[in-house]
Structure 1
Amino acid sequence: MKNNSYEYDVALSFAGENRAYVEEVANSLKKRGIKVFYDLFEEANLWGKNLYEYLSEIYQDKARYTVLFISGFYNQKLWTNHERVSMQARAFQESREYILPARFDDTEIPGILKTIGYINLQKKTPEELATLIEKKLSKDQTFFRRRWSKLSTMISAKPFIFSIKIVDQNRKLVKNAKAVLVANNSTYLEGSSDEKGLAHFIIRTRKLYTLLIAHPKYPAIMLKNINPKEDIEVVIEKTQGFGSLIINKSGEIPGILGKIEPLRKPNKGFALYADNIAIEGGSNQPCDFELNKSISLEDNGGNSIHLTFRFFQGRIALVDYCKHKLS
């Protein structure tokens, strides 16, 4: 009989050697509100259980889908093959796709035909795979109804004020700090701290945010998974010669003339345009850059500065800058 109330939307079956990739997928799915079975999320729950029996239940009865991460390592493991047998028993009983193969390589797995559609992980980032899993789940009507019901409850019946108090390491109030709340879908709310060090936001939809804080006299601050349910206080520490900036589409860096405009490339990398500014001594533009890696800029007056992008999502970027090279 088909189960319409699965404990997990998706279970992940993988070899430990591939954990780094799979963990990024698991974290991305969790942030999207998808119920995922990933062993490190279940440590307390697995503690003391008969794992042979319990994992059989997970992969045979308790997940809507299972993603099987195929690799040479997978084929050599006792536990992964136990999980595979449980999945295949479920797949045999149902007349729909249940096992979703994702391949690191061309290893043959017993019972998984080469004609079965699969995802080539050499061409997919963990975030891209999580997006595909979410799309697959969205085609399941019971999942769609549950997701819609959950999202509906997150919409506040009445808007409310969320406040952030910003102070320095000496408990001194910091005014004129720029603060931005960025949601996972790249929508955002902007604010600035007042004379009391307070930045206020009108919250109309309950969700988790990434908080960005910038100030010309302080390094950048980024805090993830901020729940606006209760007001918070953030301490920022001054470092001589350092400043920070939040850029919306494009912006100007203090100490250097001209504008910069970061953008996301089609391959998910990042690149930078600069108006009348040389990047890295005159590299062709747009010039590729990486998060948390310093790059140099020089204007037509010989003024130079080093900057580092700490965050970039949608069109919102958080930047540290300094006369000296940043790390």
Structure 2
Amino acid sequence: MMKEKRYEYDVALSFAGENRAYVEKVADSLQDKGINVFYDLFEEANLWGKNLYDYLSEIYQSKARYTVLFISSFYNKKLWTNHERVSMQARAFQESSEYILPARFDDTEIPGILKTIGYISLKNRTPEELAILIENKLKKDQTLFKNGWSKLSTMMNAKPFIFTIKIVNENNELVKHAKVVLIANNSTYLEGFSDEDGLAHFVIRTRKLYTVLIAHERYPAVIFKKMNPKEDIEVNIEKTNDAGSVIINTSGQIPGLSGKIEPVLKPGNRFSLLADNIAIEGGVDQPYDFELNKSISLEDNGGNIIHLTMRFFQGRIALIDFHKLK
């Protein structure tokens, strides 16, 4: 029986910064497909403080099953991309196997990459189409190693693990009863609250990037995008007078305000707000169209007034800052 070597990443992406806009869409698409991809912005916390020369050498030489090399005129001029290329070529030489997968933006010649090596042209090819090709390449490996251990085949049913977020304030005091939501690109989510030790625990069963939302009625909203829950994190939040935040799922209440509100996603990625027994902007017609990060005035039937600012809205999950008027 042929056994497969275990890799930390299914694929690593090597590219010049000038091509980031395209490559990031490829990385996002691969992540959505459950493929474990090394893309630098997904690894910011992990890269922080490391000796990048040694660490990237290890990534591109031994920790990924494949490397997609995005060839362009920019790639050939960069110090770091050439360092990555030398590392991956050392691996390819040792194994005498197809490890480097060239994807060409143009016809630039890259040292050590023979013209006879099969490549994918990116002319008229969308990032999603390239991601599908990479996925198919990995599925082919599944077939080769179907009697052994296959990382991709277990990707969506990986062994669950606990991810913990610790929340403290500016005085390093524990923040209790903060609501925390992890929301994935496909709008599925996990939610919980910080306990007496300021800790919010989550059972992670799928390998995804999450946007982290944190809210508390006495603290402003906190948001982290594209967070990889590989290591526990500590979050510091600062108190602001008469301000707080709340996370609403479908509909809910703002502390100190009677009635309910319901944010709604409209066609064309536009946002509207419905409010029950609450006047919006002095009593304008509803639903009321709003923009992210723009303040809205709300007043309930008791004359209580707050200014509300929508910080994030995806699926039916809304992260909201509010400021009470005395």
Range of TM-score over shorter length:
0.5 to 0.7
Q: Distance in 1 between matches of 2:258 and 2:73?
A: 49
Measured after TM superposition, the shift of residue 163 of structure 1 is 1.1
- Matched-pair contact (CA < 8 Å) for 1:8–1:37: no
Matched, 1:134 2:128: yes
* One-letter amino acid of the structure 2 residue matched with residue 197 of structure 1: G
Measured after TM superposition, the shift of residue 138 of structure 1 is 3.9
- Matched-pair contact (CA < 8 Å) for 2:180–2:194: yes
Paired position in structure 2 for 1:288: 289
**Aligned pairs for 1:251-270 within 5 A:** 251-270=252-271
Measured after TM superposition, the shift of residue 54 of structure 1 is 3.9
Taking structure 1 as reference, are residues 166 and 252 closer, same or farther at Cα in structure 2, changes over 3 Å only?
A: same
Q: Structure 2: 5+ residue runs without aligned partners?
A: 1-10, 32-67, 86-106, 143-149
Taking structure 1 as reference, are residues 170 and 29 closer, same or farther at Cα in structure 2, changes over 3 Å only?
A: same
Q: Structure 1: 5+ residue runs without aligned partners?
A: 1-6, 68-98, 101-129
**Aligned pairs for 1:30-179 within 5 A:** 30-33=27-30, 37=70, 43=78, 44-45=80-81, 52-54=108-110, 64-67=120-123, 99-100=124-125, 133-134=127-128, 138=132, 142=136, 145=139, 152-179=153-180
- Matched-pair contact (CA < 8 Å) for 2:26–2:130: no
Q: Distance in 1 between matches of 2:73 and 2:289?
A: 35
Number of residue equivalences:
246
**Aligned pairs for 1:172-251 within 5 A:** 172-251=173-252
What SS does structure 1 have at the residue aligned with 2:136? Answer: helix
Taking structure 1 as reference, are residues 144 and 168 closer, same or farther at Cα in structure 2, changes over 3 Å only?
A: same
What SS does structure 2 have at the residue aligned with 1:30? Answer: helix
Taking structure 1 as reference, are residues 45 and 190 closer, same or farther at Cα in structure 2, changes over 3 Å only?
A: same
What SS does structure 2 have at the residue aligned with 1:222? Answer: strand
Q: Distance in 1 between matches of 2:260 and 2:225?
A: 28
Query: TM-score of the superposition, structure 2-length normalised?
Result: 0.63
Measured after TM superposition, the shift of residue 282 of structure 1 is 2.2
Paired position in structure 1 for 2:26: 29
Q: Which has the higher contact order (CA 8 A, sep 6+)?
A: 2
Taking structure 1 as reference, are residues 169 and 151 closer, same or farther at Cα in structure 2, changes over 3 Å only?
A: farther
Q: CA RMSD in A?
A: 3.8
Residues 206-254 of structure 1 show CA distances to partners (whole Å, capped at 9, x for unaligned) of: 2211111100000000012222222111111111111000111111011
Measured after TM superposition, the shift of residue 306 of structure 1 is 0.7
* One-letter amino acid of the structure 1 residue matched with residue 24 of structure 2: N
Identity score, percent: 55
Query: TM-score of the superposition, structure 1-length normalised?
Result: 0.63
